[in-house]
A and B are shown apart, each in its own frame.
Chain A
Amino acid sequence: MTISQLKEILRDNQQKLTGNKPELLKRIIKNISAEKYSARLPKIYKATKNGRRELETRWAYIENQREMYGFLNSEIAALEGTNTQEQLLEKLFVRDIIKHGAARDFGLLRNAYFNAHKFFKKRRRLKDSISALLAAIYFDLTGMSNNNTVESYSTMGYVFETSLWSELDKEFTALNLSTTELMLLFDDAVDAATKPPFSYFGVGTMKEMILARLSGQQDLLNRYEKHRNTPSENSPNYNYFDLSHPYNSAEGEEIIQKLAAGEISSKSGCSAFLIFLVAIFLINRYSF
């Protein structure tokens, strides 16, 4: 309420009008019975006792929607009854982590860890929160994406630009960890995670990169390029298409040869190949 509204109540009840806002409020509460001014107070919507019970016992639905965790309402409903709302969501995160790991959808797996990190952070479970965050960072640094596909090294620039790093910085400081303790947590997170079929970096190099990033160093992908592993386009264990050099791929060579031989028109051939490349790129980057 504004000062003039408060003064109006005081005036109508023959009270002094001097003082600041807290003093006017105190005078109203002390000297005037509530029935005399309740009609003038602003009204709010408020959950009743029944409403509050609903909100508390079904908090998982609201949290799922607000934080965009992506669980289906039916999945939440299926776990209701035997679990608290917190246990219920935790079970769904664990299930998602197992599911995406088994399906080798490493982008979705990374996102599931990130969502788990947000969840634990909100519940002030900082050790769990930082462990989930480190697991998400681990999968970013492996270069593995959905459909068991390895991203091109040249498209990984975003890895050091995500919000994961500011989150890590904050939690590292909040938990007052030493770098050794942080690295032990990283080891534990990696040990507990699904093993990817390929990683651009070994765990030791990743640790160096994490500490370098936390100390504010930049351009880490270039600086550590000499330590990286190189994926193969012919591996039976994962899919890899080198989008930075598309015409190195067998499909590209084949199309170029056909174009040169006049077997297909350049317009349709180029379009088909470009669509193929763009589709693979989009699936790898945005399907999670």
Chain B
Amino acid sequence: MANLPAKLLSVADLLLLNEFDGRQAGYKIPSYRLDEYGYDYLQRVQKLIGTGYLEICAA
């Protein structure tokens, strides 16, 4: 997937952000699920949290 301009999220990250926005935090992400780059799905969610695009809060 092509990347967006520098300093912004990649398209893959953007889609992941959209997918997780509003999802219950207890959702179990299968450990075998890898993204198209071979990165762990959960790692990428954690990256979104670490970079300040996603947070976990009370419903």
Contacts and interface: CB of A to CB of B under 8 A. Distances in A.
A55 B14 contact: yes
B38 interface: no
A48 B11 contact: no
A74 interface: yes
Interface residues of A, number: 21
A167 B3 CA distance: 36
B1 interface: yes
A222 B15 CA distance: 47
A47 B52 CA distance: 9
Interface stretch (A11-19, A36-44, A255-263): A36-44
Contacts of A45: 20-25, 45, 54-56
Given A51-B53, A55-B14, A55-B17, A44 B2 contact: no
A43 B56 contact: yes
A196 B22 CA distance: 47
B5 interface: yes
A87 B14 CA distance: 20
A248 interface: no
A54 B25 contact: no
Nearest to B51: A50
B59 interface: yes
Interface in A50-109: 50-51, 54-55, 58, 61-62, 65, 72-74, 77
A44 B22 contact: yes
B18 interface: yes
B4 to A, nearest CB: 7
A51 B17 CA distance: 7
Contacts of A47: 17, 21, 53-55
Nearest to B13: A54
Contact of A44 (B1, B14, B25, B52): B25
Nearest to B2: A73
A43 B18 contact: no
Given A50-B53, A51-B54, A42 B24 contact: yes
A46 B55 contact: yes
A50 B23 CA distance: 18
B6 interface: no
Given A50-B52, A58-B4, A77-B5, A38 B21 contact: no
B58 A42 contact: yes
Contacts of B5: 77
Nearest to B57: A46
A73 to B, nearest CB: 4
Interface in B5-49: 5, 8-9, 11, 14-15, 17-18, 20-26, 45, 48
Contacts of A42: 24-26, 58-59
Contact of A43 (B14, B26, B54): B26
Given A43-B24, A45-B25, A58-B4, 13 more contacts: A43-B26, A44-B25, A47-B17, A47-B54, A48-B55, A51-B21, A51-B48, A58-B8, A61-B4, A62-B14, A73-B1, A73-B11, A77-B4
Interface of B: 1-2, 4-5, 8-9, 11, 14-15, 17-18, 20-26, 45, 48, 52-59
7 contacts: A43-B56, A45-B22, A45-B25, A48-B52, A48-B53, A54-B8, A72-B2
